[in-house]
Structure 1
């Protein structure tokens, strides 16, 4: 299979029709490159709200605008996934869940079937500046491409969430405003690939949008990562985009490569999780007395 992940340039477009045309162009280019799976980043769905909402400020305004355009954005992405016969992870954005606003994206299959994924652990900024609520459950998808899990940005920095998914492909849509945040998510993506014997796929927003606190500054890169093990590149990097360079980053992920994760790897970290838990639960031996 071929996987394409986006370093997606967010911007304020002049109309909702212009946003539709932009998304259609991006999906077309990704599909024409032979991709079976397209991955968009965190908060990219807010671009539809930017086109529908006059310039303003305030996270509550953008949460409301995001909720108002969320269903339309999903249906647009669904139509494009069906038309091009691809799996597609939508950009995430505010979504109304029974009176709670969550940060939600959807994985869409080529037949138009869509499943929701919510961010589980909010960042300090989201807790302080927004009214977003954490998701209630992780989501795991059994697809023709393999078992796919999704962890939205900050969620990828928590190993137990990835461990619970136990997936073949772990998609990590991200949105970070500083080089430190971008590095944390990329490092997390590479660590999750190592620990989980899976392929991780990171998408990122790039660019600046004045007047929208969610997307005012964006820096990052797209990339695909594997365990540094038999059958993969020695450093585990399948593909890495340049920092802040918009475009699709693509890589082939062969079925044989995924099989190697399960039966032919040099190390088997998931098989030894329990053993590490036992060791961690024991009190460490103190070999050297502290000096005064």
Structure 2
């Protein structure tokens, strides 16, 4: 069963789920969970700062915070002082610092990067409110094991150098927090930390002194392309192991999207070598549902949106080529390849889809077309008219001629539609698989052509015919500026009085 993950504001009705999660999250601090009335008071005082993470609509963790005028407290303070002895009368809407007073996740739901989502949401809030940064006191719960031989400072240095793993401090370091100071008696009841805590700080690089408006939102999107090596795998499990390796690797770089090539799962057709080509591709389609479910699981657990390349699918006895968008919140959508090459028709009897639409994601509006589709300019233009900002193109080409058709057309689509285009293909050979014996690719992230973009129109590309990943950032704000102020404005200057492109309803 797939999971749905969501981030939202905490409500008073969430208390009992929260109490269970906190009690289990801090087994060494029994009885120190938040009281219901205390939590209600905090929510009423600063609702935006109380963030919940849910899995299948169940609250399994939270991040609580207040705004303080940090100069009134300085670096020498206790938890009770910063919270006004749990009255939160220290909360100051005109303050300059977001103070984190709690973060935890139910232990049964750890390993899904849920805490990272809470931290990312808190950072976004800090930027939106134009605060200097985030400060919090952090426990060092493993220190009791080393207290006899290490001072707190020595312990922190060894955690920073990865010689010691501390579940709280190691996580803080990985989220760009720095240790400003060691605090004594910050939480006297914290016996595991021996009463010590780290004073942690994250700096908001977008902070502007005296700014009084909310002006910041995330504009940079990180894209990871998988240039997949076609090779024999040890069945379905072997292929999935390689898929997870790439998802994990791209996720480790903080990517928002990972893109796989068209029909990347073709190595599994070896199982059906005794069949003719049409029967073999339908045999491969039997794996599609399992693959889709694995991708949905990976999207949630690795916190990355996945464009699954494409996979053959049989619907009502008809064969289609389908790509899935698996969002990191557990939801998914699909796109069916519309334009089928003559070879795909003749060898496999494949049919084309009929739906043209954009997909909403947490990183803007995206479009998906598959390989041959990108050679028809009307299709991406229809998507651009629906607000598409990034076009993803999984492809599979056997020769350099075929690849260049995809590459040059994708570059044209980026320019004429004022959008980014990401293409991902496969390399290598499958000599034992009919109709899949050769592959040629150079995956790339392509841009419009104007002063704000690379002169070549290429943000990043792979080494041709080499298994690798490509990771690059694209700035969506630049697209907005291009639409309004570009040297030429292709979307604005269309002669709609003379011609138009419309979708015929089938």
Same fold (TM over 0.5): yes
Q: Which has the higher contact order (CA 8 A, sep 6+)?
A: 1
**CA distance 1:28–1:214, change in 2 (3 Å):** farther
Distance in 2, matches of 1:2 and 1:268, equals: 25
Q: Are positions 1:45 and 2:265 aligned together?
A: yes
**1:7 and 2:220 are equivalent in the alignment:** no
Deviation at 1:235, TM superposition (A): 1.8
Q: Residue by residue, what CA displacement relative to the aligned partner does 1:73-96 show, whole Å, maximum 9, x if unpaired?
A: 111111111111111000212101
How far apart in 2 are the matches of 1:152 and 1:133? 13
Q: Contact 1:220–1:243 at 8 Å: present in 2 too?
A: yes
* Residue aligning to 1:146: 364
Kindly provide the CA deviation profile for residues 197-226 of structure 1, in whole angstroms up to 9, marking residues without a partner as x: 000000001111123234211001110011
**Match runs of 1:1-292 below 5 Å:** 1-47=221-267, 49-50=268-269, 53=271, 55-56=273-274, 58-166=276-384, 167-274=388-495, 277=498
| Residues in 1 aligned to 2:486 and 2:362: alpha-carbon distance in whole angstroms | 23
1:19 CA displacement: 1.2
Between the aligned partners of 2:231 and 2:455, the Cα distance in structure 1 is: 37
CA contact (8 A) 1:198 1:261 kept: no
Supply the distance in 2 between the matched residues of 1:142 and 1:175 (Cα, whole angstroms): 26
Contact 2:262 2:309 in 1 (8 A): yes
How many Å separate the matches in 2 of 1:235 and 1:241? 15
Q: Residue by residue, what CA displacement relative to the aligned partner does 1:55-102 show, whole Å, maximum 9, x if unpaired?
A: 445322322222210000111111111111111000212101222110
| Contact 1:62–1:212 under 8 Å retained in 2 | no
CA contact (8 A) 2:239 2:265 kept: no
Judged with a 3 Å threshold, the aligned counterparts in structure 2 of structure 1 residues 99 and 61 are, in CA distance, closer, same or farther, namely closer
Q: Provide the TM-score with structure 2 as the length reference.
A: 0.53
Q: What's the offset of the Cα at 1:275?
A: 5.4
Range with bigger deviation, 255-264 or 198-207: 255-264
Q: Deviation at 1:174? A: 0.5
User: Contact 1:40–1:91 (CA<8 Å) still a contact in 2?
Assistant: yes
- Give the Å deviation of 1:265: 1.7
Contact 1:59/1:212 (8 A) holds in 2: no
Q: What RMSD, in angstroms, separates the aligned Cα atoms of the two structures?
A: 1.8
Which ranges of 4 or more aligned residues in structure 1 deviate by more than 3 Å?
A: 54-57, 275-278
Larger Rg: 2
Partner-residue secondary structure (3-state), 1:260: helix
Q: What TM-score comes out, normalization by structure 1 length?
A: 0.90
Size of the aligned set, in residue pairs, is 277
Q: Which runs of 5+ in 2 are unaligned?
A: 1-220, 500-506
Unpaired segments ≥5 residues, structure 1: 279-292
Asked if 2 retains the 8 angstrom alpha-carbon contact of 1:13 and 1:50, the reply is no
